[in-house]
Amino acid sequence: MVSNSKLTILIVGRLSGPKNQVILNILRQIPAILQSFPGARFQVVGGPVTDEHRRLERNQPAIHFEGHQPNLKVFYQKATVVIGAGRVALEAMKLKKPVIAIGERTYVGPLRVANIEKAKATNFGDCFETESFDWEQLTKDILYLLRDSKARVQVAQTGYELLKAEYDMERVYPQMNGLYEKVMLDHNLSQIHELPILMYHQVLDKQPALAKFNLHVLAADLEKQLQFLKDHGFETIVFEDLLTKRIPKKPIILTFDDGYENNYRFLFPLLKKHRMKAVVYILADRKHKTNFWDKPLGEAEHALLKPAQILEMQKSGYVEFGSHTFNHTRLTLIKKAEQEKQIAGSKKVLETFLKKTVHSFAYPYGVFDPEIKKITQAAGYTFGVAVSHGPTEFQGDLMEIKRVHMFPQTSTFDFFKKTSGFYHRYRALLGR
């Protein structure tokens, strides 16, 4: 029997938008619960903690706002009951904790055989056509679980078995971090009509003396292209958007390979000015300061982004970073163990540096084979971007996403053709 003073109800979720409203409503049930369990604690993990939350905390000593916590596991482990939706529910279930599922849209309740289908269909409360909450029932359910340790074990067991049978993330979705992301990605993929992905490298202010491979665009031309996209109703997204939110009607992804310092100097100001987003592929080994790999081929040397510049760009919200291996290696020329290190190892190193999940990987030189694609997926990337290979439709193969190569001489007319998803199909028809 757990003593009263140790009972902890853990609530996990964002403290903004609709989820914040749901959490505030849950906290309104506290007085009724304290009548039966005066020592119960309500821990809320998630952010941002605002003055309103701090005021609640001062007025109700049973509430503890813990803010955003990178290591949720310790909180789950100490909790008597976990309240949450989506990924929170799954993580708690995995640790055999009794879960009361409630999300942005609906109340599901403690996981039982009777409501498992609803839990699955709504992503544990986050997706439902109409909003429906039963706060009285929530209070009853919390009291019931606090009172009855056998019921807690049973609910935890039901959740654990559901997870094992249907949601084993390592087994079913090797490339996914959470079910929520999988659900959102599926939704977005089903909605995408066209999703052009453009590939750039350097952004320069003036024509370079030496540009053997023509891997640059002039900032003035790039700005015209950005304006063109805006004028034609395109909205730039990054890969994370595909996993976390409903994407706009006419999405487009701008990618910049290698992570040149000129991206900070000439691309970043344009993104901020036009409020547009881009994905930049960087090397995970920060000791490389230039595009040393191009030098033997006779290409000019250019500085790569410095760590502080990368972090500043990420913090702005306009730039997402992806991995481009440790040292721009040609993956088809190295052994499997080395491929794994370059692909999975670079992800880990970048995630530690960026403090963020790295969702996409760009194959250097656009070279890969089926085995390399498998390694990329197994490493946990959701997207592998190629150059000229890949199905004509974005949804065709997420580990082989075709991009449109942008050259310095790309004219407005070419640009129009290239931003149309039909471009790939048109070229495929012509056999080019």
For Zn ion, the binding residues (CB under 5 A) are 257-258, 364
Tokens at 365, concatenated: 């030189």
**Which of 167, 326 has the CB closer to Zn ion?**
326
Smaller CB distance to Zn ion: residue 288 or 417?
288
Q: How far is the CB of 324 from Zn ion (least distance, A)?
A: 6
Separation of alpha carbons 257 and 244, rounded Å: 24
CB of 167 to Zn ion, least distance (A): 36
Determine whether 432 is exposed, middle or buried from the number of CB atoms within 10 Å of its CB (0-12, 13-18, 19+): exposed
- Kindly tell me which of 96 and 405 has the beta carbon lying closer to Zn ion: 405
CB of 215 to Zn ion, least distance (A): 8
Task: Considering the complex, state which of residue 46 and residue 364 has its C-beta at the smaller distance from Zn ion.
Answer: 364
Residue nearest to Zn ion (CB): 257
Measured CA distances, 350 to 29, 119, 322, 327, 372 (Å): 42, 35, 8, 13, 19
Q: Torsions phi, psi of 7, nearest 5? A: -70, 120
Residue 86 or 364: which CB sits closer to Zn ion? 364
Least distance from C-beta 288 to Zn ion, angstroms?
Answer: 12
Burial profile 261-277: b = 16 or more Cβ within 10 angstroms, e = fewer: bbbbbbbbebbeeeebb
- Give the other-Cβ count within 10 Å of 167's Cβ: 19
Cβ neighbours of residue 29 closer than 8 Å, sequence gap 6 or more: 135, 138, 139, 142
What whole-number distance in Å separates Cα of residue 243 and Cα of residue 261?
Answer: 28
Q: Which residues contact 252 (CB under 8 A, 6 or more apart)?
A: 195, 196, 197, 198, 229, 234, 235, 236, 237, 419
Smaller CB separation from Zn ion, 72 or 278: 278
Residue pair 39/7 in contact (Cβ under 8 Å)? The answer is yes
- Nearest distance from C-beta of residue 364 to Zn ion, angstroms: 5
DSSP designation for 331: G
Using CA atoms, how far apart are residues 185 and 78, in angstroms rounded to an integer?
Answer: 32
Smallest separation, CB 50 to Zn ion (Å): 43
> What is the closest distance, in whole angstroms, from the C-beta atom of residue 360 to Zn ion in the complex?
14
**Which two tokens mark 412?**
């407005």
- Whether 110 and 143 have beta carbons less than 8 Å apart is answered as no
Report in angstroms how near the CB of residue 373 gets to Zn ion at its nearest.
18
- Comparing CB distances to Zn ion, the nearer of 364 and 390 is 364
Helix (H) or strand (E) holding 243: helix 239-244
Rounded least distance, CB 254 to Zn ion, Å: 15
Nearer to Zn ion, 353 or 365 (CB): 365
**Residue 257 or 400 with smaller CB distance to Zn ion:** 257
